[in-house]
Amino acid sequence: MQSFTRAVIGTAAVALLATACTGTSNAPQADDDATKDVSITFWHGWSAPGEAAAIAADVKAFEAKHPNIHVKVVGNINDDKIKQALRAGGANAPDVVSSFTTDNVGTFCASNVFTDLKPFLDRSGIELDTTFPKPLQDYTQFQGKRCTLPLLNDAYGLYYNKTAFKAAGITAPPKTLSEFDAVAKKLTKVKGDSYSQLGFMPNFHGYESTATHFAALWNPTYFTPGGKSNLAKDPAFAAMLTWQKGLVEQLGGFAKLEKYRATFGDEFGAKNPFHTGQVAMTMDGEWRLGMAREAGVTFDIGVAPFPVPDAQADSYGKGYLSGTVIGIAGTSQKQNAAWELVKFMTTDTDAVVSFANAIHNVPSTLDALKSPALTADLKPFIGIAQHAKSNTTPASPNGGAYQLTLQDFGYAHEAGKVPDLAAGLAKTDEQIDKDLAQAK
Amino acid sequence: MTSLRQKHRTETLRNLAFLSPWLIGVSVFFLYPLVSTVYFSFMKYDGFTPPTWTGWKNWQYVFTDYPFFWPALRNTLWLVVVMVTLRVVFGLGIGLLITKVKTGAGFFRTAFYLPYLAPPVAATMAFAFLLNPGTGPVNSILGSIGLPQPGWFNDPAWSKPALTMLALWGIGDLMVIFMASLLDVPQEQYEAASLDGAGAWQRFRYVTLPNISPIVLFAVVTGVIQTMQYYTQPLVAGKVASGVIGGAGQQFEPGYPDKSTLTLPQLVYHLGFQRFDTGGASVIALVLFALAMVFTAFLMRSMSERSVA
């Protein structure tokens, strides 16, 4: 029995020892020779056939310029897979990784899962300020550490059903939120206890109608310089939540809108409520036009910047920005070769423009934004992307956790479960700070 | 004396050799993960940088500051009590009915067993479609006969009952086990009970139930453990019903609607693989482990006391 006990204790000790040595990152020096024959692996999140073809074309153009670097492309990868694969490391782990969301840049940079790109940028003589728009520079770094670069850009604007506008006698898209509210009401057609057409779905579950996307219209400051949550102190958040709830009430109330929302098809499917005419206006990214065409939408679609608060009417044209980011795995043994691919995909104007046109995304470099080769569909979003007041959500060490907490608060507020908005925002700040403390 | 000791040592080694497959299995697949989980629950570890000691910080965060923990625990306990009970009662009921059917038993067995074979993701998506409050056929039928139309997976009050319905639909596994045990009850005991004037309920209470009680215990214990690990169905139901795929600025909402479908295993994934917080995830994993142990010990004990009585 004693032997058995000793064996169990021994096993536990070995387990502990082994555990303590597991998965620790040991970033290699970038000393590989990128001029020699080498194969690298590139992971990305695109999955639609057209998108995969666009990536393939981009990579082919790269390989034509760098015949010694061969790229193995793996698509349909989300951030959860990226994190797990980079934790595990090994020969099959990717060298170059792109992520659809900027939300995790803070985690990627803080944990060294993506390598610091500054030495590579310096060596290649790339000036960030003359290459990328400012908001894109912001969302690809965390606390001064640049571990990703922008790979195309997403800009959010207003899509409207021109046919419905014409039928309602509306001649131009609204520019301020008070105009927007009036238009949304005018376009809303009640049918029984539901709607035959809703002007706009303001509920936070209404796909892209999220708290952060709306808040961008007020140019909010999410964190204090000391890194504390700033929701209660910045009046932008209370203003946004008040406006949103007001519109919810004007359009029939939360419960009625939620019931109607349950009849919507998938956001990225053919039955998106904007495609089906269930909503006459929607907030969405630049990809929607292409998707609407593919879905066979018959009405005319108008695109404009999303209306802004009345007090900020002079900032009309701005919007929420985000985008795909790309970086080099901290565990990669071929970082110099990987950098060549990252550099090509993010800074080569022809590559950026071709890729942007192919997948209906806004280009991410200043030169590409001025390119005459860009498709006409992207024009309204290029204006939003270049607007000085366009903004994004900042990177945080625990990814998008603070956005989730704000969003959660937004759900409670729109449902009428928050009696005191200021106190609720202060409590939300506390929660965000606790989550941040846990991540540090 | 020396030869006796040597003989004893040889016997011990031989016994250990015979036990080694079990020892290796338990060490690798149980002790190692368990010890690691305890270890990580006291560490800050993101999977990339070396772990550092944080004491009780992870425990404190999960129990006092992590807003999803208590709703998830409440949901998990609700599901353990309601879903497991209903599954056992329903499985036993269906098993009883099918063993009594004279014609078409094969058809009914197949009909009730087949849903169990459906992949959980596909089955949940099908249920989310059927129970869509606005466009689903179930509410259309309820509406057409003047009955209330619940919000199902879109209503916090109805989401767990909807998940329970999904679990009852896939009752095939328990039905087969109960059928086998019911057919194993000696017929002469029923005959003797009938001769003594026992009715249907008394035959069930005093003949069937005592005979199948080990199977009932098995069904309850495995049901509790499975429900503690309940992950796929609530996650898919919440995701499909919310309609939010996730993207930039579009945070996936755990436990839609209003945290009502949140379960503890979802939190393990959320903290461990989405927030890089291995410490917090380990705490929740240990809570799950402790709960499963407590439930199982309680059930085993109460069942053994009952059988002694």
A62 lies in the same domain as A179: no
A197 lies in the same domain as A285: yes
A171 lies in the same domain as A263: yes
A160 lies in the same domain as A250: yes
**Cα A260 to Cα A264: distance, rounded to the nearest angstrom:** 7
Q: How many domains does chain B have?
A: 1
Name the token pair of B270: 């959320």
User: What number of H helices and E strands is found in chain B?
Assistant: 16, 2
* Spatial contact of A401 and A198, defined as CB atoms under 8 Å apart: no
A348 lies in the same domain as A279: no
pLDDT at B252: 64
A75 lies in the same domain as A119: yes
Instruction: Tell whether A188 is covered by a domain.
Output: yes
pLDDT at A16: 45
Instruction: Tell whether A424 is covered by a domain.
Output: yes
Instruction: Tell whether B3 is covered by a domain.
Output: no
pLDDT at A13: 44
Give the whole-number percent of chain B exceeding pLDDT 70: 95
Instruction: Tell whether B202 is covered by a domain.
Output: yes
- Candidates A3, A19, A411, A429, partner chain B, best to mutate (most B CBs within 10 A): A19
Average the pLDDT over each of A222-236, A248-262, B100-114 and give the range with the smallest value.
B100-114
Q: State the ipTM, two decimals.
A: 0.81
Instruction: Tell whether A348 is covered by a domain.
Output: yes
Nearest CA in chain B to A83: B273
Instruction: Tell whether A99 is covered by a domain.
Output: yes
Tell me which long-range contacts A30-33 makes (C-beta under 8 A, separation of at least 24): A30/A115, A30/A119, A30/A120, A30/A335, A30/A336, A30/A339, A31/A336, A32/A333, A32/A334, A32/A335, A32/A336, A32/A337, A33/A336
Residues of B in contact with A434 (CB under 8 A): 61, 65
Give the whole-number percent of chain B exceeding pLDDT 90: 77
Tally of CB atoms within 10 A around B6:
10
pLDDT at B61: 97
Beta carbons within 8 Å of A176's beta carbon, 6+ residues apart: A307, A308, A309, A310, A313, A316
**Predicted confidence (pLDDT) at residue A22 exceeds the cutoff of 50:** no
Instruction: Tell whether A343 is covered by a domain.
Output: yes
A171 lies in the same domain as A233: yes
**Cα B280 to Cα B238: distance, rounded to the nearest angstrom:** 23
Q: Is B17 on the interface with A (CB under 8 A)?
A: no
Where does residue B258 fall: left (phi above 0), alpha (psi -120 to 50 degrees), or beta otherwise? left
In chain B, residues 39-58 whose CB comes closer than 8 Å to chain A: 39-40, 46-51, 57-58
Position with higher pLDDT, A30 vs A260: A260
Instruction: Tell whether A20 is covered by a domain.
Output: no
A332 lies in the same domain as A426: no
Q: What is the CATH number of the domain that holds A84?
A: 3.40.190.10
Q: What is the CATH number of the domain that holds B107?
A: 1.10.3720.10
A409 lies in the same domain as A264: yes
Are B134 and A260 a contacting pair at CB < 8 A? yes
Instruction: Tell whether A429 is covered by a domain.
Output: yes
A312 lies in the same domain as A427: yes
Question: Domain span at residue B200?
Answer: 68-309
Nearest-neighbour CA in chain A from B78: distance (Å)? 23
pLDDT tens column, A32-63: 888 889 999 999 988 878 888 999 999 999 99
Q: Is B30 on the interface with A (CB under 8 A)?
A: no
Q: How many domains does chain A have?
A: 2
Nearest CA in chain A to B243: A266
Nearest-neighbour CA in chain B from A102: distance (Å)? 6
Instruction: Tell whether B284 is covered by a domain.
Output: yes
Residues of A in contact with B246 (CB under 8 A): 101
**Predicted confidence (pLDDT) at residue A281 exceeds the cutoff of 80:** yes
Residues of B in contact with A18 (CB under 8 A): 32
Question: Domain span at residue A74?
Answer: 27-154+322-386
Mean pLDDT of B145-174: 94
pLDDT at B246: 55
User: What number of H helices and E strands is found in chain A?
Assistant: 20, 11
Residues of A in contact with B35 (CB under 8 A): 12, 15-16, 19
Instruction: Tell whether A15 is covered by a domain.
Output: no
Output the pTM of the full model.
0.84
pLDDT tens column, A265-280: 888 888 899 999 999 9
Are B244 and A205 a contacting pair at CB < 8 A? yes
Q: Which of A263, A398, A431 minimises the CB distance to B135?
A: A263
A278 lies in the same domain as A170: yes
A251 lies in the same domain as A176: yes
